[in-house]
Structure 1
Amino acid sequence: MGGMLPPAALGVVRTVVSLLVDGRHEELETLTEGRRLSAARTERAVREYGGDLISPPDEAFADADVRESEDGTGYTVAMPLWTAQEGRCRLEVRLTLREVAEDVWTVQIDALRVP
């Protein structure tokens, strides 16, 4: 793991994963303000991968690849997802998080794919 996320940023990562697991792609698009990936694109990526997404165990969040952004204003996170069929699977979500006010983070989904 490249670094540790502040608790508020980790909460945003958990929210994104939860929305993906629950298939709430429209809410995810709202959360990310539609930057980079639309609801249709995240839904298609999950469908094309196959399998049923499940909530990862808590320790999986500690295994995410976290790197401070080059400009120091946020983080990039590569979070592996989990399916009922495989447990930890090859599909991962890549996020960019930026702190816009104290403990207030924006999130962008950069990719939802098999690396």
Structure 2
Amino acid sequence: MNTFDQRLITLIRQLISWLVAGDYEAAQRRSRGIRLSADLMRDAVLRYGRTLVIPPDTAFAGIDAIEVRNAVSPTWSVRFDLWTAEEGRSDLSLECTLIDRGAGHIDLEIDNLHSL
């Protein structure tokens, strides 16, 4: 696994920990509020009606990340199934875009939280 893969996983883990803790404002700050606000994230989780939990480590091995071709900076479109206390792996998924700006910085844009 290359260095970017590890940074991608670390960022996704952090984002999920904020969602599990209900700290939607931290998620919004990290994503600069691009595409999905704290209120929209909160509403999506509340509508889903289950308790988010941290996924097992094995879930992070299966992050669905597709590199965006012809992007100016290395960019990935990511989809990750969230986990709940009631269901384990749930139908609620996180979709986001990660952009490697170089010098160790990855921009995060939260595109959607929705059930499949």
Asked if these proteins are the same fold (TM beyond 0.5), I'd say: yes
How many residue pairs were aligned? 113
- Looking at structure 2, the residues matched to 102 and 8 of structure 1 have their Cα atoms a distance apart, in angstroms, of 12
AA of the residue aligned to 1:79: F
CA shift for structure 1 position 70? 2.0
Matched-pair contact (CA < 8 Å) for 1:9–1:103: no
Q: What letter matches 1:14 in structure 2?
A: R
Aligned residue type for 1:111? N
Partner of 1:98: 99
**Residues 1:17 and 2:16 are matched in the alignment:** yes
Q: Which has the higher contact order (CA 8 A, sep 6+)?
A: 1
Q: How does 1:3-42 map to 2 (within 5 A)?
A: 6-42=5-41
Q: Which has the higher helix share?
A: 2
Give me the TM-score of the superposition, normalised by structure 1.
0.92
- Residue 66 of structure 1, CA deviation: 1.1
Q: Distance in 2 between matches of 1:110 and 1:23?
A: 18
- Deviating beyond 6 angstroms after TM superposition, the runs of 4 or more aligned structure 1 residues are none
1:85 aligns with 2:78: no
- Provide the identity percentage: 34
Partner Cα separation in structure 1 for residue 68 and residue 104 of structure 2: 17
TM-score by length of 2: 0.91
Shifted more, 50-59 versus 66-75: the winner is: 66-75
